[in-house]
Structure 1
Amino acid sequence: MHKTGIVPPLRLCFFMWLVFTIEFYLDVDLGYLGIYPREITGLVGVVMAPLLHGNFNHLASNTIPLLVLGGSLFFFFPAIATRVFLQAYFFTNVLVWIFGRPFYHIGASGLIYALASFLVFFGLFKQNFKSVIISAIVIFLYGGMAYGLLSFDERISWESHLMGAVVGLSTAYLMRRK
């Protein structure tokens, strides 16, 4: 176990809130820096999209799960946490850039889905006590996220949710022996 588990996700949340604060006080919308699929200019969103949020509720609803899931990853699995976190961040966004609908995809929910999916499936694949308990807790706390995979609200990037879940699942499978 690692005592600084919350620090990396806390840093990301700090930058999410900083970007939102800048947008608010300067009265600018940086949504155009999100992922715009299959356009070269949309590639900037692979890095920027998780830092951008449409409104306060969007930001707030991404902050707590990111801290809980990211903190759990870094706290309980410090040896693989950085690799898993970076793969979840970048691979999810690259897949959204390849397969997403043509509009600006913003927010950290793809990363959140990847982390939740990883923690659930890692426990199932690894089958040791600690991993299974963490998997069960994540299912209990965030099992309702599965409904986000089937969102029909055209303003919600279900592609980010789905790609995050796929990245989390595949990363858990590939890391099961680590």
Structure 2
Amino acid sequence: MASNLARLLADSRRALFTMLGFLTVIWAVQVVNWLDDYRLSYDYGLRSGRIDELPEMFTMPFLHFGWDHIEANSWPLFAFGFVAAYRGMRKFLLASLLITVAGGLTVWLLERPEAVTAGASGMVYGYFGYVVLRGILDRNLLDAAIGIVIAALYSYLLLGVLPVAEGVSWLGHLGGLIGGLAAAWLLRNRAPEPASAAPAKTAANTTVNSTEGTSPNAALLKQLDDLGL
């Protein structure tokens, strides 16, 4: 129990520093981007349909088109990212990769060719889906409670996967959410199969039956032999 708690605390510290580091990077990039009239967002944001643009799916989460854009993403990114990471960094990194690729491919395949997509909101939706479904699949009381609270407080986010707002990459949101749900399913805890009690029971029954089937003389002789007589 103590070792599990120590591991949880260590993973929580790593999750905290990871998300603080991520936010530090995207805010530093935002300052440079702002000074350059957001050329980075246009140069390294993702455009659909071009093979040479595919690597930009890995740069677009770090880029934004304005201060309002990055401010709107930062708090939910930190909150959902921390909850997604606090139970283990390996699964978190794999989930982040799945979310990034799913969101990027959705935009690349379905977005209008003239549109440039950038921003971390796809990651926000991905971590949101990952955390909520993970709590259900893993049957973890804490995760389930966190997932329910998050689902209740941020249910409005689901509107972001619909084409209802002009200039918002709902495809990136939808792809990120799909990636987060897929990551929760693929990375779910698979409890080890319980040891079957049937063989032990059979063995016990066999022992009992062999004793019951032994003649009284044989049992007596065995007891005398045990006593050295």
TM-score, normalised to structure 1, is 0.91
Matches for 1:88-167 after TM superposition, within 5 Å: 88-102=99-113, 103-167=115-179
CA distance 1:108–1:141, change in 2 (3 Å): same
Q: Which amino acid aligns with 1:100?
A: E
Which residue does 2:36 correspond to in 1? 26
Which residue does 1:16 correspond to in 2? 26
Q: Using the alignment, how far apart are the partners of 2:177 and 2:38 within structure 1?
A: 31
Native 8 Å contact 2:126 2:177 kept in 1: yes
Q: Using the alignment, how far apart are the partners of 1:52 and 1:138 within structure 2?
A: 25
Choose 134-143 or 49-58, whichever is displaced more: 134-143
Q: Using the alignment, how far apart are the partners of 2:111 and 2:38 within structure 1?
A: 25
Deviations 1:101-139 (A, max 9, x none): 321111001111000001111112222212211211221
Give aligned-pair identity as a percent.
26
How much does 1:5 deviate?
Answer: 1.3
Runs of 4+ in 1 over 3 A off after TM superposition: 76-79
Q: Using the alignment, how far apart are the partners of 2:14 and 2:124 within structure 1?
A: 19
Q: Which structure is richer in relative contact order (CA contacts within 8 A, separation 6 or more)?
A: 1
- SS of the residue 1:22 aligns to: helix
CA RMSD of aligned residues (A): 1.7
Choose 104-113 or 9-18, whichever is displaced more: 9-18
CA distance 1:18–1:134, change in 2 (3 Å): same
Deviations 1:11-33 (A, max 9, x none): 22122111110122233422221
Deviations 1:63-114 (A, max 9, x none): 1111111111111344522211222223321332123232111100111100
Which residue does 2:56 correspond to in 1? 45
Q: Using the alignment, how far apart are the partners of 2:103 and 2:18 within structure 1?
A: 18
- SS of the residue 1:4 aligns to: helix
Q: Using the alignment, how far apart are the partners of 1:46 and 1:176 within structure 2?
A: 25
Q: Which amino acid aligns with 2:94?
A: R
Q: Which amino acid aligns with 2:14?
A: T
In structure 2, runs of 5+ residues without a counterpart are 1-7, 191-229
CA distance 1:11–1:90, change in 2 (3 Å): farther
Native 8 Å contact 2:105 2:175 kept in 1: no
Native 8 Å contact 1:34 1:44 kept in 2: no
State the aligned residue count. 178
Q: Which amino acid aligns with 1:154?
A: E
Which residue does 2:16 correspond to in 1? 6
TM-score, normalised to structure 2, is 0.72
In structure 1, runs of 5+ residues without a counterpart are none
Native 8 Å contact 2:99 2:175 kept in 1: no
Q: Using the alignment, how far apart are the partners of 2:70 and 2:38 within structure 1?
A: 16
